[in-house]
Amino acid sequence: MNSFTPVIRLFFFLFISLPFTPDVPGADSPATEKLRKQAEQFPEKVVKVAEGVYTAVGYSVSNVSMIVGDEGVIIIDTGLDMPGAAKIAKQFQKITDKPVKAIIYTHSHGDHTGGTMAFIRKKRPQIWARSNFGSESKPWDDGGITFHRVRGARQGGFKLPPEQRVNNGIAPAQYPKRGGEVFGSAKDTSPSHTFDGQKKQIQVAGVTLDLIAAPGETNDGLCVWFPEKKVVFAGDTFYRSFPNLYAIRGTPNRDVRLWAESLTAMTKLNARSLVPGHTLPVIGENDVKQVLVDYRDAVQFVHDKTVEGINKGLTPDQLVEYVKLPEHLAKKDYLQPFYGKVEFGVRTVFNFYLGWFDGNPTNLL
């Protein structure tokens, strides 16, 4: 027996010990299978969230909600574009033909504001938002940045043919009908009413609502609290995916610590129904509490563990290995990386506090 025989035997043993997984042409990868299952979140339907409260899911890339009051209705967010919003408006009119008395924007992203004109008939209703509405895009506008539109199209997969898009992780695979622009809203649908501070209570159409500042995905974010029915409309502070603490299209800094604080405030409402900015609503007080607490804990963990690693002198590349969600959170279906990833959040926390330099002098130049 020559000296190579033991090596050959070792390789043969390792080979026959490996599980056999045949390469099936056209078979989906595990990631694609998960994404296809996530599509169960996006059938076109109107969900009755509570008595007199409805949310349209799947018609647009974002959810559009309606509260039926005594003298009219209130619309919360309006979808990406007019075709989708028109379909939603038609479905809502089957429920009630009362006029729209108010529209509330949870934040300024165009996928939540682009369909507004579909809900304006003869008279322009009140349109509510926070006073810093549009603050995310202001640095781009002031600085002359336009390439974020190209990157936004890449992030959304708008350049891919339909057969190569499964869904967007938190939304059905649709294509914008507004020239490819992803963010911003038309001047004639801009807010007519805004508020400063933490909270603003409004009465519209016989309905009392609390508009609560909820910075997270955007600094101008708000949540809508309907205390009579115990429904909270979270906007993009929550959806059924690990959150986009950083958007790979490029974005001004998102304050992860404030995002966690916004979620904490929502947990204290003891809501019976939770309407996310995307994906299906969560109904049932115990389920809502569990989801919001888990979501808050995940965001808070990424922030706190990253700060812990920063204070140990770890670089961003080291931090993404250091910060791993606890198992009880990582396995939750509403914290899977369909849209955001823990690693992106880690890097954005580092950049928020320390900027681009990783602290290693050999990388300085």
| Lookup result for tokens 């509405």 | 133
Q: Name the nearest CA neighbour of 40 among 155, 162, 166, 161.
A: 166
The mean-pLDDT minimum among 61-75, 128-142, 228-242 falls in 128-142
Q: Edge-to-edge strands of the sheet including 282-283?
A: 199-204, 207-213, 222-226, 231-235, 273-276, 282-283
Segment 26-58, tens digit of pLDDT: 678 898 899 999 999 999 999 999 999 999 999
Cα–Cα distances (Å) from 356 to 195, 349, 359, in that order, read 34, 11, 9
Confidence bin at 109 (pLDDT 50/70/90): very high
CATH number where 260 lies: 3.60.15.30
Q: Is residue 186 part of a domain?
A: yes
Q: What is the pLDDT of residue 13?
A: 37
Counting residues of the chain whose pLDDT is more than 70, the rounded percentage is: 90
Q: Is residue 203 part of a domain?
A: yes
Number of domain units in the chain: 1
For residue 94, how many other CB atoms are within 10 A of its CB? 8
pLDDT confidence of residue 122:
84
pLDDT over threshold 90, residue 321: yes
What percent of the residues of the chain are helix, what percent strand, and what percent coil, each to the nearest 5?
Answer: 35, 15, 45
Q: Examine residue 333 and state whether it is found in any structural domain, yes or no.
A: no
Q: What is the pLDDT of residue 182?
A: 44
Look at residue 19 and tell me whether its pLDDT is greater than 70: no
Is residue 13 domain-resident? no
152, part of any domain: yes
Identify whether 83 is part of a domain. Answer: yes
pLDDT beyond 80 at 195 = yes
User: Among residues 236, 229, 230, 193, which one has the least CA distance to residue 214?
Assistant: 236
Kindly state whether residue 41 falls inside one of the protein's structural domains: yes
DSSP-assigned letters across all residues of 312-358: TT--HHHHHHH----HHHHT-GGGSSSS--HHHHHHHHHHHHH-S--
Q: Could you tell me the two tokens for 58?
A: 């799947």
- Mean per-residue pLDDT for 100-111? 97
260-269 mean pLDDT? 98
Residue 164 lies in a domain: yes
- Note down the domain range covering 240: 26-287
Residue 26: predicted pLDDT: 63
Distance between CA 151 and CA 66 in Å, rounded?
32
| Mean pLDDT value of segment 191-218 | 97
Percent of the chain with pLDDT over 90: 80
| Cβ atoms < 10 Å from Cβ of 82 | 18
